[in-house]
């Protein structure tokens, strides 16, 4: 067994064009790995930089950092589905993971809703302007991996767009832009301007890269089982209906609990923008019947 293992090590480095003895000598002096270095615990725990002295602001920061890590797990799975050959069993496994991750996002909103002082949050949040969760780039990447960019236009956007639009044209009318753009005056919020300056070209490049290979397009080309279609429907419902609705309910708790209708830090009409009926984001529209599409966002679509 030991001889076999040693030979496999030698073969590994030979195939790389390297001398295995050099690596084995290095191993003699290498320090053993430990948990705190492997996970970068000290770095991770040092990433919270509150802007005020309110204790719960640190909770607010950590919550959003956890959210970004969960989004990264979803992106990690989606990249494999998009860039690797279709295999239904792998898709079923990955979609189960993605649904679990999305469920984590949904249930984690209890941290926001019940884990912070109402008065403290409504004081320190003003120091965060114009930063907004709207500026999460991974959220937009997930959309682009999952579906054609034309599915990211709401009804008003589809009315505005011309014939034979380019990818850039679609981004001019994409649903999320309405959160920070006055379509009558053409004026953009600082939140949107900063976001587009940093990420828009990356989004356009990603949309071009995955054209024809999004999850939606792969499903349209594949002979999928009913089991897989139901998994895709469940993910669509979790991500595009359940999660936005929980987000909206949490925003209502802090911004409209006393009927005050406070403004979001990003300046959007949050009651309108956060609702899935306004966003109308669907990753797999062909998997839903006409009635389900017409009542999208009014209640959970998954049967």
Q: What is the average pLDDT across 241-254?
A: 85
Place of tokens 């969760």: 133
* Dihedral sign of CA atoms 79, 83, 84, 89 in order: positive
What is the chain's mean pLDDT, rounded? 91
Q: Helix or strand or coil: residue 188?
A: strand
CA distance 79 to 210: 10
pLDDT tens string 122-138:
899 889 999 999 999 99
Predicted local confidence at residue 219, as pLDDT: 95
Pick 262 or 255 by higher pLDDT: 255
Q: How many helices (H) and strands (E) does the chain have?
A: 18, 0
| Percentage of the residues of the chain whose pLDDT score is greater than 90 | 72
Kindly report, residue by residue over 136-152, the tens digit of the pLDDT: 999 999 999 999 999 99
* pLDDT at site 302: 53
Question: In the chain, what are the domains?
Answer: 52-128+136-151+211-294 (1.20.58.480)
Q: Enter the tokens of residue 147.
A: 């579906």
pLDDT at 298: 80
DSSP state of 33: P
CA dist., res. 244 & res. 247, Å (int): 5
Report the C-alpha gap between 192 and 181 in whole angstroms.
8
Kindly state the DSSP code that residue 239 receives in the 8-state scheme: I
Other C-beta atoms within 10 Å of 164: how many? 6
- What tokens appear for 66 in the block? 């956890």
Span of 46-50, 108-112, 149-153 with lowest mean pLDDT: 108-112
Which positions ≥6 away from 85 have C-beta within 8 Å?
A: none
The mean-pLDDT minimum among 112-121, 219-228, 247-256 falls in 247-256
How would you classify residue 93: left for phi > 0, otherwise alpha for psi between -120 and 50, otherwise beta? alpha
Residue 300 has pLDDT above 70, yes or no: no
Predicted local confidence at residue 270, as pLDDT: 60
Per-residue pLDDT, averaged over 245-259, amounts to: 75
Reported pTM: 0.90
Residue 296, strand partner residues: 299
What's the whole-number mean pLDDT along residues 115-121?
89
Other Cβ atoms less than 10 A from the Cβ of 7: the count is 11
* Rounded CA separation 178/243 (Å): 19
Please give the C-alpha separations between residue 172 and each of 61, 177, 181, in angstroms, as whole numbers.
31, 8, 10
pLDDT at 299: 66
Distance CA 196, CA 206 (A): 14
Question: What residues have CB less than 8 Å from 82, skipping those under 6 apart?
Answer: 145, 210, 213, 214, 215, 218
pLDDT at residue number 185: 93
* Per-residue model confidence as pLDDT tens digits over 15-30: 999 999 999 999 999 9
Model confidence at 262: pLDDT above 60: no
Query: Who contacts 107 (Cβ-Cβ below 8 Å, separation ≥6)?
Result: none
Q: Check pLDDT > 90 for residue 253.
A: no
Q: What is the rounded distance in angstroms from the CA atom of residue 144 to the CA atom of residue 148?
A: 7
Pick 2 or 104 by higher pLDDT: 104
**How many degrees, rounded to 5, is the angle at CA 46 between CA 40 and CA 47?**
95
Question: 297: pLDDT confidence band, cut at 50, 70 and 90?
Answer: confident
pLDDT tens-place string over residues 72-96:
999 999 999 999 999 999 999 999 9
Percent of the chain predicted with pLDDT > 70: 92
Confidence of residue 252 (pLDDT cuts 50, 70, 90): confident
Identify the pLDDT of residue 201: 98
Residue 266 pLDDT exceeds 70: no
């Amino acid at each position: 067994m030991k001889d076999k293992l040693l030979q496999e090590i030698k073969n590994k480095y030979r195939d790389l064009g390297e001398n295995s003895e050099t690596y084995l000598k290095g191993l003699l002096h290498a320090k053993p790995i430990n948990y705190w270095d492997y996970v970068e615990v000290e770095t991770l725990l040092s990433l919270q930089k509150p802007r005020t002295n309110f204790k719960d602001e640190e909770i607010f920061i950590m919550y959003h950092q956890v959210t970004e890590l969960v989004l990264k797990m979803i992106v990690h799975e989606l990249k494999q589905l998009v860039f690797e050959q279709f295999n239904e069993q792998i898709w079923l496994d990955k979609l189960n993971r993605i649904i679990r991750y999305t469920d984590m996002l949904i249930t984690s909103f209890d941290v926001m809703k019940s884990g912070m002082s109402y008065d403290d949050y409504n004081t320190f949040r003003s120091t965060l302007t114009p930063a907004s969760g709207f500026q999460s780039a991974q959220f937009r990447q997930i959309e682009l991996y999952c579906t054609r960019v034309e599915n990211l236009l709401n009804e008003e956007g589809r009315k505005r767009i011309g014939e034979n639009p380019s990818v850039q044209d679609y981004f001019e009318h994409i649903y999320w832009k309405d959160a920070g753009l006055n379509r009558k005056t053409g004026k953009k919020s600082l939140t949107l301007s900063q976001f587009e300056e940093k990420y828009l070209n990356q989004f356009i490049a990603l949309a071009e890269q995955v054209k024809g290979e999004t999850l939606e397009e792969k499903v349209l080309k594949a002979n999928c089982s009913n089991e897989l279609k139901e998994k895709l429907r469940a993910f669509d419902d979790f991500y595009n209906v359940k999660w936005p609705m929980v987000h909206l309910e949490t925003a209502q708790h802090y911004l409209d609990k006393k009927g005050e209708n406070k403004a979001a830090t990003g300046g959007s009409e949050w009651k309108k923008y956060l609702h899935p009926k306004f966003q109308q984001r669907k990753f797999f529209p062909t998997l839903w019947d006409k009635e389900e599409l017409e009542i999208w966002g009014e209640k959970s679509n998954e049967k």
